[in-house]
């Protein structure tokens, strides 16, 4: 019989060997014929299945809402400085992307992990927040540099509104809101931020859609798929900032001395 030589790579999400490429078994022509959007493509390539419309719409809303947040945030700042140093598109983009992490845009996975664990163990928001404090860990998904109780993040409200209307259950989001209610008693800026909103709502999407087993949800949360939403979304804005700087022919950036405290 035929002997199959062992392969060096295993791949399960896409196939380009036939007449047309397939994403998770779905040929490109049906993706176009069915009018699929980027949310459907993400469902196929990340989750290896077609998700219901409200889920793909939610994914697309996350992408649109996180695409940019002005020139002053960490990622855009790095991209702008890099573009002004004369570097190319990819260098400017990755320079911005490299700021995404536990403080900026990359707290979605940890927010999902901690909210899920605390909710599923039945911890009250008080017990959860105080246990985090004892461990010296900031609650991921809580807190913002410029947003506060009186100037809430509109993106969070929009995500919550969509989910309350379309999701079968928003139990994890409600838990995150209860956590926010408690953290706001501590400081004005300890609001549920966009990372926390996406993290908690994606738990609701995974649990409520009926499309994922408990084991699959645990795996998605453990591997950490969700920061990918912010990385993907913000790439749109960072590419825009690169083009903007090039179009404006901005010179090399040098930070002003006056804005540095030189001290020993």
Contacts with ligand LMR, residue ranges (CB under 6 A): 69, 73, 145-146, 194
Whole-angstrom CA distances from 32 to 24, 41, 53 are: 15, 11, 15
**In angstroms, what is the minimal distance from the CB of 204 to ligand ACO?**
18
**In angstroms, what is the minimal distance from the CB of 229 to ligand ACO?**
11
Neighbours of 225 (CB within 10 A): 18
Which among 206, 226, 208 has a CA at the least distance from the CA of 217? 206
Q: Which of ligand ACO, ligand LMR, none lies near 199, with the C-beta cut-off 5 to 8 A by kind?
A: none
**In angstroms, what is the minimal distance from the CB of 73 to ligand ACO?**
7
Dihedral angle sign, alpha carbons of residues 50, 195, 111, 119: negative
Out of 39, 140, 208, 237, the only residue in the binding site for ligand ACO (CB under 6 A) is 140
Which among 8, 55, 76, 81 has a CA at the least distance from the CA of 229? 55
189 contributes a contact to ligand ACO by CB under 6 A: yes
Q: Which of ligand LMR, ligand ACO, none lies near 220, with the C-beta cut-off 5 to 8 A by kind?
A: none
Q: Which of ligand LMR, ligand ACO, none lies near 141, with the C-beta cut-off 5 to 8 A by kind?
A: ligand ACO
Within positions 144 to 173, which residues make up the interface with ligand ACO, using CB under 6 A? 144-145
Radius of gyration of the chain (CA): 21
- C-alpha to C-alpha distance for 208 and 143, rounded to whole angstroms: 27
- C-alpha to C-alpha distance for 91 and 34, rounded to whole angstroms: 36
Out of 39, 96, 125, 143, the only residue in the binding site for ligand ACO (CB under 6 A) is 143
Nearer to ligand LMR, 33 or 150 (CB): 150
Q: Which of ligand ACO, ligand LMR, none lies near 39, with the C-beta cut-off 5 to 8 A by kind?
A: none
- C-alpha to C-alpha distance for 67 and 236, rounded to whole angstroms: 6
Within positions 11 to 70, which residues make up the interface with ligand ACO, using CB under 6 A? none
Pairing of strands 22-23, 26-27: antiparallel
Q: Which of ligand LMR, ligand ACO, none lies near 248, with the C-beta cut-off 5 to 8 A by kind?
A: none
Dihedral angle sign, alpha carbons of residues 211, 216, 218, 223: negative
Where along the sequence are the contacts to ligand ACO (CB under 6 A)? Answer: 102-105, 107, 138-145, 187, 189-190, 193-196
């Amino acid at each position: 019989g035929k002997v199959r030589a062992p392969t060096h790579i295993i791949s399960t999400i896409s196939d380009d060997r036939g007449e047309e490429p397939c994403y998770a078994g779905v040929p490109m022509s049906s993706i176009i014929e069915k009018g699929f959007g980027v949310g459907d493509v993400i469902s196929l390539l990340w989750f290896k299945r077609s998700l219901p419309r409200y889920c793909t719409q939610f994914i697309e809303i996350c992408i649109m809402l996180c695409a940019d947040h002005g020139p002053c945030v960490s990622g855009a700042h790095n991209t702008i400085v890099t573009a002004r140093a004369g570097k190319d598109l990819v260098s400017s983009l990755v320079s911005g992307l490299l700021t995404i992490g536990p403080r900026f845009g990359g707290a979605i996975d940890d927010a999902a992990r901690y909210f899920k664990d605390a909710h599923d163990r039945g911890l009250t928001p008080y017990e959860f927040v105080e246990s985090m404090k004892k461990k010296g860990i900031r609650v991921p998904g809580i807190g913002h540099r410029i947003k506060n109780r009186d100037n809430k993040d509109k993106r969070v409200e929009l995500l919550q509104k969509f989910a309350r209307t379309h999701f079968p259950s928003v139990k994890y989001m409600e838990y995150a809101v209860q956590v926010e209610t408690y953290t706001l008693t501590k400081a004005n800026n300890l609001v549920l931020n966009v990372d926390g909103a996406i993290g908690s709502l994606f738990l609701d999407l995974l649990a409520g859609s009926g499309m994922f087993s408990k084991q699959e949800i645990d795996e998605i949360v453990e591997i950490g798929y969700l920061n990918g939403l912010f990385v993907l979304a913000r790439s749109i804005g960072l590419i825009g900032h690169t083009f903007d700087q090039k179009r404006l022919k901005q010179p090399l950036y040098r930070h002003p001395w006056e804005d540095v405290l030189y001290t020993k």
